[in-house]
Amino acid sequence: MGSARDKIAKVSLAIAGMIFHIACYVCVAVLLFWLGQTAYHFGYNVFNQHAMHPGAGTEVTVVVRENDSVLKIGRTLQSKGLIEDAYVFVVQEFLSDYHGELQPGTYLLSTAYTPGRIMGIMAGDEEQEGTTAA
């Protein structure tokens, strides 16, 4: 009678182990799917620049101080409704022609501007318009 219990215990332990392994594989698969989806959306937002409100837009005054980091500038722009995500803005600035060229000042920006145009204005690009640098 003891050997029957031992066999049942071993079979039960084996089944429980298989269920645990399957649950672990499912969790890893879901995590990988979520990470891939998040990375895709982040990359898509970096390279698919769009204005928050295409068309007329709303003009907003933004002040950039000396020694403001790109992330701080991005957070300011996000809080003013000019961009969607400050971290995406940091990567866009890093990959742009304006990397390291954003200048302090007071800017009149529109929600109809793309992040690239906002960076151009803040970098003093003469082809961009809508700036009142102080």
Do 33 and 65 lie in one domain? The reply is no
92 and 67 part of one domain: yes
Over the chain, what is the mean pLDDT? 89
75 & 99 share domain = yes
**Token digits for 129?**
């318009």
Which DSSP state fits 96?
S
Residues 69 and 99 reside in one and the same domain? yes
Per-residue pLDDT, 134? 43
For 99, the domain range is 59-122
Q: Does residue 127 lie within any of the structural domains?
A: no
How many percent of the chain have pLDDT more than 70?
92
pLDDT the model gives residue 55: 80
Q: Three-class SS of residue 30? A: helix
pLDDT at 131 over 50: no
The top-scoring range by mean pLDDT among 11-15, 28-32, 53-57, 126-130 is 28-32
Lowest mean pLDDT among 65-69, 111-115, 118-122, 128-132: 128-132
Check whether residue 118 and residue 65 sit in a common domain: yes
pTM of the predicted protein model = 0.76
Tokens of 16: 């429980």
Tell me the CATH number at 109.
3.30.1490.480
Helices 86-95 + 115-122 axis angle, to 10: 70
Model confidence at 29: pLDDT above 90: yes
Q: Which residues pair with 105 in a beta bridge?
A: 64
Specify if 14 maps to a domain.
Answer: yes
Number of folded domains that form the chain: 2
For residue 91, the tally of other CB atoms under 10 A from its CB is 17
Contact 92, 70 (CB under 8 A): no
Which residues have CB under 8 Å from 88's CB, separation 6+? 42, 45, 46, 74, 115
Same domain, 2 and 32: yes
* Domain final residue pick, 12, 27, 48: 48
Place of tokens 């672990």: 24
Residue 53 lies in a domain: no
Count CB atoms within 10 A of the CB of residue 88: 22
Phi (first) and psi of residue 29, to 5 degrees:
-65, -45
* pLDDT at residue number 54: 79
**pLDDT digits over 39-71, tens only?**
999 999 999 888 888 788 889 999 999 999 999
Residues 8 and 35 in one domain: yes
The answer as to whether 129 is a domain residue is no
Average pLDDT, stretch 15-22? 94
Query: Is 70 in the same domain as 118?
Result: yes
